[in-house]
C-alpha cells in the first residue's frame, strides 16, 4: 500500500481510541481512494444528518422484514404495547468472565418490571417478546404473555426487536442497532438493574 500512495490514501486514528469525524475531515483526500484502517469509527454528526438515508440503505433483506413484521403484526393484534428483550447468552457466558451473562429469571424479572410500569402508566395489555441465541427453559416458553422468537435467524430477530415499543438487554452493538434503527427506547441491563421508571429507557442516537 505504501508503494501505491499515489493512488491510495490510508486514514488512521490520531490520538483517540475511535476514529472521529475530525480525523476523517483532516485526512480525506478527494483525488485518491481513501482506505480507513480502523474498526471503531465514530461519525455522530453524519449519522444524525443522514439517518433516513442510512436506514433505507441498511434495511434488512425483504424476506427477513416480511417474517419479522408478520410476527409483530400478530403480537400487536393481541397487545397494546410490546416489550422487546434481547437475551444474549451464548458467547456472554465467558466474555469478560460472564459479567453480562444473565439468567432467564433475571430477563423475565426485568421484563415484568417494565410491564408493571407500563400498566401503571395506563397501558392495559402489555406483551413481552424475547429473542435469544440460547434455547429457553419452560419457564420462558410456557409463560403466558411471553412470545419467544424461534426463527433461529438473527436478522429476523434484530428487525423484530426494532419494531417493539421498548427494548432491554445487555450492552451490545445488536441492542444499539435495534434502538437506533427502530427509534426504540432501550435500557442496558446489568446485574443490579432495578426498573422504576420509563425514563430509564433512551433511544440510541448512534449505531
Look at 21 and 62; give whichever has higher pLDDT: 62
Residues 56 and 19 in one domain: no
In-domain check, residue 47 = no
pLDDT of 151 higher than 80: no
Look at 201 and 42; give whichever has higher pLDDT: 201
Nearest by Cα to 41 from 10, 62, 17, 76: 17
Residues 66 and 137 in one domain: yes
Confidence category of residue 116, pLDDT binned at 50, 70, 90: very high
In-domain check, residue 134 = yes
Strands 8-11 and 166-169: unpaired
Q: How many domains does the chain have?
A: 2
Residues 59 and 138 in one domain: yes
Query: What is the extent of the structural domain holding 196?
Result: 52-200
Residues 193 and 139 in one domain: yes
Q: Identify the pLDDT of residue 13.
A: 76
In-domain check, residue 58 = yes
In-domain check, residue 70 = yes
Residues 20 and 120 in one domain: no
In-domain check, residue 3 = no
Residues 26 and 77 in one domain: no
In-domain check, residue 16 = yes
Residues 108 and 16 in one domain: no
Residues 186 and 146 in one domain: yes
Residues 30 and 98 in one domain: no
Q: Write the DSSP assignment of 125-167 as a string of letters.
A: -EEEEEEESSPPPHHHHT-TTEEE-----HHHHHHHHHTSSEE
In-domain check, residue 207 = no
Nearest by Cα to 108 from 66, 153, 138: 138
Residues 65 and 113 in one domain: yes
Q: Identify the pLDDT of residue 75.
A: 95
Residues 103 and 129 in one domain: yes
Average pLDDT over residues 16-42: 82
Q: pLDDT tens, 69-100?
A: 999 999 999 999 999 999 999 899 999 999 99
Cα-based torsion angle of the residue sequence 101, 105, 109, 115 in order, rounded to the nearest 10 degrees: 110
Residues 73 and 175 in one domain: yes
Amino acid at each position: 500500500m505504501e508503494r501505491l500512495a499515489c493512488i491510495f490514501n490510508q486514514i488512521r486514528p490520531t490520538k483517540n481510541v475511535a476514529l472521529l469525524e475530525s480525523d476523517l475531515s483532516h485526512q480525506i483526500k478527494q483525488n485518491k481512494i481513501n482506505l480507513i484502517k480502523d474498526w471503531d469509527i465514530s461519525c455522530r454528526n453524519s449519522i444524525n444528518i443522514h439517518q433516513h438515508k442510512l436506514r433505507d440503505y441498511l434495511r434488512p433483506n425483504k424476506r427477513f422484514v416480511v417474517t419479522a413484521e408478520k410476527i409483530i403484526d400478530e403480537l400487536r393484534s393481541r397487545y397494546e404495547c410490546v416489550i422487546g428483550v434481547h437475551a444474549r447468552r451464548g458467547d456472554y457466558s465467558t466474555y469478560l468472565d460472564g459479567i453480562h451473562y444473565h439468567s432467564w429469571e433475571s430477563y423475565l424479572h426485568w421484563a415484568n418490571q417494565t410491564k408493571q410500569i407500563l400498566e401503571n402508566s395506563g397501558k392495559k395489555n402489555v406483551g413481552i417478546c424475547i429473542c435469544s441465541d440460547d434455547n429457553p427453559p419452560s419457564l420462558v416458553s410456557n409463560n403466558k404473555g411471553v412470545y419467544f422468537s424461534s426463527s433461529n435467524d438473527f436478522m429476523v430477530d434484530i428487525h423484530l426487536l426494532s419494531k417493539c415499543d421498548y427494548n432491554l438487554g445487555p450492552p451490545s452493538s445488536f441492542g444499539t442497532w435495534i434502538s437506533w434503527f427502530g427509534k426504540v427506547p432501550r435500557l442496558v441491563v446489568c446485574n443490579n438493574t432495578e426498573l422504576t421508571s420509563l425514563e430509564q429507557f433512551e433511544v440510541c442516537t448512534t449505531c
